[in-house]
A = this chain, B = another copy of it.
């Protein structure tokens, strides 16, 4: 296992974008972290280099068989100029779960967090400070063997790139409209649903495109077997508040184990709320709506943090939630979570790690 990180700093610095005009994932910083894997050396040649293109032969497996995994986390700059990371060890655990499912060698999470901290420290000036902005961190692994047989690659590249970002959705913290998908399926038990791998996202594009044409931001995925139970929404986990109970679908192998999801469950329990992780059918949500018991709904994820849901389109009917406004719990969770992440709220769960 590699322990030394070579550092080559960029001779030129790119112009930084205006903090107030940031989109998601369009602009990248001056440096990146790279390491390579081979069967004989394991992970080796760890280095921080200028942000630069990857050059691979067209027969490289990454262009053919989708054996990729990735993670997403964020760095925040506090008012007193500290740099904070949020639960990076959870992302490393999940990356190794994804690796295991995709036949990719395990990484040393502690080492990668150290590399990530060095990289973020070098590009610290890129961390935006405007409300709703942060530095998005994208670790990812690609297969690099030059071979067209269908088999796990023998060679890999691990990289971390950084992007100063604004809100993931153009709606920002305003409620989004969601289309309940009844034709396309994202994942099924025995598949790759709980891994952060490219194919899960590729297979979601068609449904998202069709929903978008109908005026909906994202789709709500139902289970692949009965198309009855709620799984997740777009690329987020989902929560409902029904008659005082906060419910999110249980982890069943086809749902992503979100770091934000996990954090919200802990926060809600800490506040003494009734919280359940269980099977939840769309019909149950619909009946709750009919009885006036559907109080709130929101998506959760690193990119969007908390994304309140104002409307579902389900079986040719519009389900409006909380008059299309952001609910009380959604707001409180957003404020508390971003407060902990930005260092303005006390870190009572010990979730935050400082980059020195």
Which residues of A are in contact with B by a Cβ distance under 8 Å? 23-26, 28, 32, 51, 53-60, 62-68, 70, 101-103, 136, 138, 140, 142, 146-152, 159, 161, 163, 168, 183-192, 197-206, 208-209, 224-225, 227, 234-235
**CA distance in complex: A304, B266 (Å):** 52
Is the beta-carbon distance between B197 and A191 smaller than 8 angstroms? no
Which residue from chain B places its CB closest to the CB of A152 in the assembled complex?
B205
On whether A191 and B224 interact (CB within 8 A), knowing A102-B202, A136-B148, A199-B199, the answer reads yes
**CA distance in complex: A159, B23 (Å):** 31
- A62's contact among B62, B187, B191, by CB below 8 Å, is which? B62
**CA distance in complex: A23, B149 (Å):** 9
Is the beta-carbon distance between B188 and A183 smaller than 8 angstroms? no
Chain A: interface secondary structure? loop
- A64's contact among B28, B68, B103, B204, by CB below 8 Å, is which? B68
Q: Provide 5 A-B residue pairs closer than 8 Å at the C-beta atoms, listed in order of the A residue.
A: A66-B66, A66-B68, A150-B201, A152-B209, A188-B224
Is the beta-carbon distance between B185 and A190 smaller than 8 angstroms? yes
Which residue from chain B places its CB closest to the CB of A203 in the assembled complex?
B192
Is the beta-carbon distance between B59 and A161 smaller than 8 angstroms? yes
Which residue from chain B places its CB closest to the CB of A210 in the assembled complex?
B103
Neighbouring B residues of A205 by C-beta, 8 Å: 67, 102-103, 150-152
Which residue from chain B places its CB closest to the CB of A224 in the assembled complex?
B188
**CA distance in complex: A171, B220 (Å):** 46
Is the beta-carbon distance between B59 and A25 smaller than 8 angstroms? yes
Neighbouring B residues of A62 by C-beta, 8 Å: 62-63
Is the beta-carbon distance between B59 and A56 smaller than 8 angstroms? no
**CA distance in complex: A147, B163 (Å):** 10
- A199's contact among B161, B188, B203, by CB below 8 Å, is which? B203
Is the beta-carbon distance between A201 and B147 smaller than 8 angstroms? no
Is the beta-carbon distance between B53 and A55 smaller than 8 angstroms? yes
| Distance in Å: Cβ of A266 to nearest Cβ of chain B | 26
- A53's contact among B57, B151, B168, B234, by CB below 8 Å, is which? B57
Supplied contacts A103-B206, A150-B234, 6 more A-B pairs, CB within 8 Å: A54-B58, A64-B198, A66-B66, A66-B200, A68-B202, A184-B191
Is the beta-carbon distance between B199 and A66 smaller than 8 angstroms? yes
Is the beta-carbon distance between A198 and B202 smaller than 8 angstroms? yes
**CA distance in complex: A145, B59 (Å):** 20
Neighbouring B residues of A186 by C-beta, 8 Å: 191
Which residue from chain B places its CB closest to the CB of A165 in the assembled complex?
B148
**CA distance in complex: A203, B185 (Å):** 15
- A66's contact among B101, B159, B201, by CB below 8 Å, is which? B201
